[in-house]
Amino acid sequence: MQLLGERVGIADFRVQAGSPLAGRRLGDLRMRARHGVTVIGQWNGGRFAPAEGPDTRIEARAILVVAGAHANLGRVERMATPLRRYGPIVVAGHGVVGGKVVEMLRDAGETVIVIDERADAAVDVVGNVLEHSTLERAEVRKARTVVLALSNDSAGVFATAVVRDYAPDVRLIARVNLAPNVARLYQAGADVALSVGQVAGQILAHHLLGEDAVTVEQRLKLARVAPGALVGGHPWQAGIREKTATAVVAVERGSEVLVEFDQSFQVRADDVLFVCGTTDSLDKYMREYRASPAERPETPAATS
């Protein structure tokens, strides 16, 4: 997922069966009015479905993709997934990527339990992550998060299913090498699937430590666009989602990024809109509202 500066981001959450969101219609939940967030869509059964309007129903165990201010995303996460706020982070796989993850987390002061089949000074539990006895020795059910940093996507999918079955409530992050396997990992029970570059980078540490909301939805994009035909209108006016399967999630006005709008708010000609959707739906939005990519402000040249 992407970040919009320091204030706004897109994040995804697993909706547990007992969540107050499960089985509810968006029109009844009124997520924008009550929580200041926009539901973009959901992964269910390995497929992504954009939220098309108030009749869209949130499915239990789906991965919900939501945009909004970081504080508001935190509220949604508390509703969607009762995350464990204590316990170690278990990392399965201590190769190049897993080793880097462990190093970053330990540098941040986190308690980390490392699982690997090869004995090493940095490995706490030697064993196969596919075996319940290994998961038991690593105390996976007491973990705050499990990170599967396996080098093979097929093994990652299998391990995801095993860990999800063994510890249904643990937050599960899986490394993925090939984009088409993202859906397979979600089907198997992953909460988050990150590419090799993301797993190896600081984004993972931010995600685990709660510093940023990070999105991993491979198909979604955030476009920074000029307002076009929305000048004088409201960012959340009726018809945008129904016509284009996109959503305006923020408005840049001068030096501010606005994410909440009262009924009297009107889009100005010099505003910049942040619109979220798939590549196809964004193309449809640009045509429907005669919008164009917004120019980025020039950075002042340094003076000597």
pLDDT tens-place string over residues 31-53: 888 888 888 888 775 567 888 77
- Map tokens 């606005």 to a residue: 258
What's the mean pLDDT in 233-258? 86
Name which residue leads in pLDDT, 228 or 236. Answer: 228
Mean pLDDT estimate for the chain = 82
Judge contact between 19 and 79, C-beta under 8 A. yes
The percentage of residues in the chain with a pLDDT greater than 90, rounded to a whole number, is 35
Structural domains of the chain, with CATH: 3-80 (3.30.70.1450), 89-209 (3.40.50.720), 220-288 (3.30.70.1450)
Judge contact between 31 and 42, C-beta under 8 A. no
Q: Give the closest residue to 47 by CA, choosing from 207, 284, 278.
A: 278
**Cα separation of 212 and 214, whole Å?**
6
Judge contact between 294 and 272, C-beta under 8 A. yes
pLDDT tens-place string over residues 252-295: 898 887 877 888 999 999 999 988 888 888 999 999 999 998 87
CA distances from 16 to 19, 82, 171, 189, 198 (A): 5, 8, 11, 11, 25
pLDDT tens-place string over residues 97-135: 889 889 888 887 889 999 999 999 999 999 999 999 999
